Structure 1
Amino acid sequence: MPIIRADSLVKEFRRPKRVPGRFGAVRTLLTRQYTVTRAVDGVGFDIDAGELVGYLGPNGAGKSTTIKMLTGILVPTSGAVEVSGVVPWRDRERNARHIGVVFGQRSGLWWDLPLIDSLHLAATLYDVRPADLRAHLARFTDLLGLDEFLTTPVRQLSLGQRMRGDLAAAMLHRPDVLYLDEPTIGLDVVARDRIRAFVADLNRAAGTTVVLTTHDLDDVEALCRRIILIDHGRVLYDGDVATLKARHAPHRELVVHLAEPGPVEIADAEPVAATDGRVTLRFDPARVSSADLIGRVLARHRVTDLSIVEPDLERVVAGIYADRTA
């Protein structure tokens, strides 16, 4: 049975229509006319326990709204949602004990307290036993490198340090599900790698189900085995990364560095670029294998180096959205 189930989720927001002119603000306040915006439009998916899923889409696609319905912050306009057998918005307290949430744009830590005090308060809120707290803190401190700023007030932490503290606080009660909304936004390489490693370890070692929304598709390729792609509140794709690439970017590129510059003409491969002895050939792996293509090139040309370039997820997703807006 899925640990997360969303069925035909819809969320609409109603806003009063603005009335122009003199006393417009007062008339707007009293108006019974509304503008309805549908942020999520029939989204449905099942997520099994232990999955690590990337939930992707452009700004305004409905990602954060969906996460807020899954966490119980928002009530759906229609449709159904269950997390660990709980309807989030009906039983928020029970749901909160099953989930951890990290929003990259806001912190759940106490601003004026040292990080260690914030973590102890979070543990108290979730009734974490002292022995479990000590064990979890020791493990998270090691994985996230918290020891150098545990006694620093949260307001003095860098963005990367605060995000690591938020992750530790979200996981102290060992929830079944972790929601990460833009957890690496604005972080440097070191902090981003720490967080990626921590999330991967949670999923692999503890079996934590993770739902990740992000604009950094390097996060998705590094962590996720499955992605759900949405736009204008609707699901466009639900499956693995390899299938998405095969469907929307079937070609690969072979980059050849020639010992002697010149043209390269090989059957089943199209030259797409040539500069200073470096030739790029585009090919379809469904028609010719990379090993066969490399063999043909080596049989006809003296080569100093070569490499296969796979399509990156960012270009694939950008192409899908560009096609939809064209």
Structure 2
Amino acid sequence: MSAHIPAIIVRDLVKTYEVPERDPGLLAAIRSLFRRRVRAIHAVSGVSFTIQPGEVVGFLGPNGAGKTTTLKMLTGLLHPTSGEALVFGYVPARREPAFLRRITLVMGNRNQLQWDLPALDSFELIRAIYRLPPAEFRATRDELIDLLEVGDLVRKPVRNLSLGERMKMEIIGALLHRPQALFLDEPTLGLDVTMQRRIRAFVAEYNRRTGATVLLTSHYMADVEALCRRVIVIHHGRVLFDGPLSALVDQFAAYRKLIVTLAESGADLKGFGEVLAHDGLRYTLRVPKAMAPAITARLLAEAPVADLMVEEPPIDDVIEQVFAVGTPR
């Protein structure tokens, strides 16, 4: 696919559920049999974006924001109420075989492999489902096993593997048909820090080797920082931000940290900002973002500064601020 043609196009995508409602009590239960009352729940409310081939994009939002619902519509598991979604030119809801061969969905809290069988047996089943040529399948399988370093685990029953080991097997199973679009929904959920790093490194390497497009949701901001230059943030089913991760920090970070080392003792820095930490001649101040340049200039002019660094807040704090801005009052 040409780099000028988006891999994923989403226009005004909407998903609305009708949830039955009734008052408590026997009489209300009987009345609801004849007069059903429903309430509309808008899981996704007019989401629009495009993703180019080969991009790795973070899809962020709090629980209930509509991330998983959007991913399910992009993979054809759910039909949108209205709007349009195209993946490589296919309408996902039609679930055409040619479309399914080009995509995969990995969910950190779902299993696709047979619990009581070794992963190798499940891989053979996947080969049959996708009708993969045996030689091509074995080459891909062995390459993925080598990349994830699980050669000594693939013959064990899946139920005997740790959570991280099972997640590796799930990822191999999802990539055996070499999909061109990866929809990853919390792929490192519940994994320890070391395993998270390995999964992140694998996704980056797969993207580098194959040019696959990746749309990633994760509550672990380390995943996003390591893999994604661009992020899309949604809240209450709507897009709040779409752009570079660095621009997200610039737009929503409310403060900066100043790390100041003094050349001599005796200076009082309380008037320059909120003192977060003080250790000998080293101070950590928090100042409003808009005032950071002026306060930095004042410090250099009025205090015996030996060293000064300006730090952006942690990305987790920025995301929390984004969600706060997007919450209706």
TM-score (norm 1): 0.89
**Is the Cα–Cα contact under 8 Å of residues 184 and 192 in structure 1 kept in the other structure?**
yes
**1:63 equivalent in alignment to 2:67:** yes
Q: Match of 1:39?
A: 43
Q: Match of 2:124?
A: 120
Change (3 A) 1:161 1:289: farther
Offset of residue 46 of structure 1: 0.6
Q: Match of 1:310?
A: 312
**Is the Cα–Cα contact under 8 Å of residues 136 and 172 in structure 1 kept in the other structure?**
yes
Unaligned runs of 5+ in 1: none
Q: Match of 2:276?
A: 273
Match of 1:320 among 319, 322, 325: 322
CA distance in 2, matches of 1:259, 1:97: 64
Local SS of the residue matching 1:81: strand
Q: Match of 1:192?
A: 196
CA distance in 2, matches of 1:29, 1:199: 51
Change (3 A) 1:22 1:132: same
CA distance in 2, matches of 1:110, 1:21: 44
Q: Match of 2:252?
A: 248
Local SS of the residue matching 1:280: strand
**1:20 equivalent in alignment to 2:24:** yes
Q: Match of 2:177?
A: 173
CA distance in 1, matches of 2:58, 2:255: 24
- Corresponding letter in the other structure for 2:323: Y
**1:207 equivalent in alignment to 2:211:** yes
Change (3 A) 1:27 1:99: farther
CA distance in 2, matches of 1:138, 1:264: 63
Aligned CA RMSD, in angstroms, stands at 2.9
Match of 1:104 among 108, 116, 137: 108
Offset of residue 26 of structure 1: 5.8
Question: Deviations 1:117-163 (Å, cap 9, x if unpaired)?
Answer: 11121122112222222221222112212112101111222111111
Offset of residue 188 of structure 1: 0.6
Change (3 A) 1:13 1:259: same
Q: Match of 1:154?
A: 158
Offset of residue 315 of structure 1: 0.5
Offset of residue 24 of structure 1: 5.1
Unaligned runs of 5+ in 2: none
- Corresponding letter in the other structure for 2:49: F
Q: Match of 1:235?
A: 239
CA distance in 1, matches of 2:182, 2:245: 21
Count of aligned residue pairs for this structure pair: 322
TM-score (norm 2): 0.88
CA distance in 2, matches of 1:29, 1:92: 39
- Corresponding letter in the other structure for 1:36: A
